[in-house]
């Protein structure tokens, strides 16, 4: 009886050892380099089950033993942790690391750039055309509430989520910029700073000119002069929904609108676009000068003037350049 028990114990011990060796071999196999010879992108759709995920990985050549991968997922208890999304798998990625990437949600990021100076309607249209994104945007956000910037998104990110991020980024950036404002500004609120920044953004694309143009507008506000900004007259006509598509006329400059700064004094009642951080900084820290006027100089920049006579001479020079004479 003792001998029989000893033989049974030896047999069971052998089975345990064999099972342990088998488990170690299984784990070692899972950590071996996989079959991929170059990067592969796999899109796991929302709601995909384990079988669908494994089939997609197998079809893309990321794995070569679907049964082994399904067993790993089951034994590790990660079947409910695997996440949908776009994944970029590196060459020779192991089955172990593949499952870990799916469980960690290590999806591929894409850089989505929203240029400065677009209206809210234009930004909504831009996001609507972006194939990486999904879903609808509830409504065009208030003008000036979105921060133009580069945002990292994953495939199938909701468009409304991008809008929400842009609004949060603008709120945080404006709070930071407004806290560092100059002490002698001719306006009292951060919201007015956004209005001025939006005009600066539309007036120039040259970084070195922003603060100087801000200074011109500040000088005009302090003297009670109308800002006489062409972009505000354009906004009065289009409301930021589309481009004017033609030069402004004298009749356009007489249009009755609180946004037409040829017809009214002071800042418009709201922003005319979504300004970037640099324009916001220029608005709250303008470069002080004696300039009261500026006009395009024909080279992408502007010619500045202290008096109306100087300005008229600059305008005449620009017109000659523009006519080719």
Q: What's the pLDDT score for residue 242? A: 86
Cβ-contact 272, 196 below 8 angstroms? no
Does domain 31-107 fall under CATH 3.30.1490.480? My reply is yes
Q: What's the pLDDT score for residue 6? A: 47
Closest CA to 231 of 191, 272, 270: 272
Calculate mean pLDDT across residues 128-153.
95
Per cent of the chain over pLDDT 70 is 91
Calculate mean pLDDT across residues 230-235.
95
Q: What's the pLDDT score for residue 244? A: 87
Chain region(s) in the chain for CATH 3.30.1490.480: 31-107
Per cent of the chain over pLDDT 90 is 74
Q: What is the pLDDT of residues 5-42, one digit of tens each?
A: 445 444 444 445 544 454 556 667 788 999 999 999 99
Calculate mean pLDDT across residues 290-296.
93
pLDDT category at 2 given cuts 50, 70, 90 is low
C-alpha to C-alpha distances, 59 to 112, 191, 203, 266, 302, nearest whole angstrom = 29, 54, 53, 64, 58
Q: What's the pLDDT score for residue 324? A: 61
Region for 117 from its dihedrals, namely left if φ exceeds 0, alpha if ψ lies in -120 to 50, beta otherwise:
left
C-alpha to C-alpha distances, 238 to 90, 187, 200, 257, 273, nearest whole angstrom = 49, 26, 18, 11, 12
> In the predicted model, what is the mean pLDDT of the chain?
90
Q: What's the pLDDT score for residue 24? A: 56
Tokens representing 61 are: 């050549």
What distance lies between CA 66 and its chain's CA centroid?
Answer: 38
- Asked if pLDDT for residue 83 goes beyond 60, the answer is yes
- Tell me which of 5-19, 132-146, 192-206 is least confident: 5-19
Calculate mean pLDDT across residues 252-267.
95
Calculate mean pLDDT across residues 239-268.
92
């Amino acid at each position: 009886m003792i001998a029989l028990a000893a033989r049974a114990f030896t047999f069971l011990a052998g089975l345990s050892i064999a099972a342990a060796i088998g488990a170690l071999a299984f784990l070692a196999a899972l950590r071996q380099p996989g079959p991929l010879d170059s990067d592969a992108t796999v899109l796991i759709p929302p709601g995909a089950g384990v079988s669908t995920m494994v089939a997609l990985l197998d079809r893309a050549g990321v794995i070569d033993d679907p049964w082994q991968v399904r067993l790993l997922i089951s034994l590790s208890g990660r079947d409910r942790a695997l996440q949908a999304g776009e994944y970029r798998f590196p060459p020779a990625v192991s089955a172990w690391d593949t499952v870990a990437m799916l469980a960690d949600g290590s999806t591929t990021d894409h850089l989505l750039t929203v240029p400065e100076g677009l209206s809210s309607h234009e930004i909504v249209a831009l996001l609507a055309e972006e194939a990486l994104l999904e879903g609808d945007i509830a409504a065009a956000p208030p003008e000036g509430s979105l921060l133009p910037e580069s945002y990292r998104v994953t495939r199938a990110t909701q468009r409304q989520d991008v809008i929400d991020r842009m609004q949060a980024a603008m709120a945080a950036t404006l709070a930071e910029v407004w806290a560092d404002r100059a002490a002698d500004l001719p306006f009292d609120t951060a919201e007015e700073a956004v209005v001025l920044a939006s005009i600066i953004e539309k007036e120039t694309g040259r970084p070195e000119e922003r603060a100087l143009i801000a200074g011109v507008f500040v000088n005009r506000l302090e003297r009670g002069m109308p800002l006489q900004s062409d972009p505000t007259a354009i906004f009065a006509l289009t409301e930021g929904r589309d481009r004017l598509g033609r030069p402004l006329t004298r009749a356009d400059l007489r249009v009755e609108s609180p946004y037409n700064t040829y017809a009214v004094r002071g800042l418009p009642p709201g922003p005319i676009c979504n300004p970037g951080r640099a324009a916001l900084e220029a608005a709250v820290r303008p470069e002080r000068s004696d300039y009261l006027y500026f006009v395009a100089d024909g080279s992408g920049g502007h010619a500045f003037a202290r008096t109306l006579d100087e300005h008229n001479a600059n305008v005449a020079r620009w017109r000659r350049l523009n006519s080719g004479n």
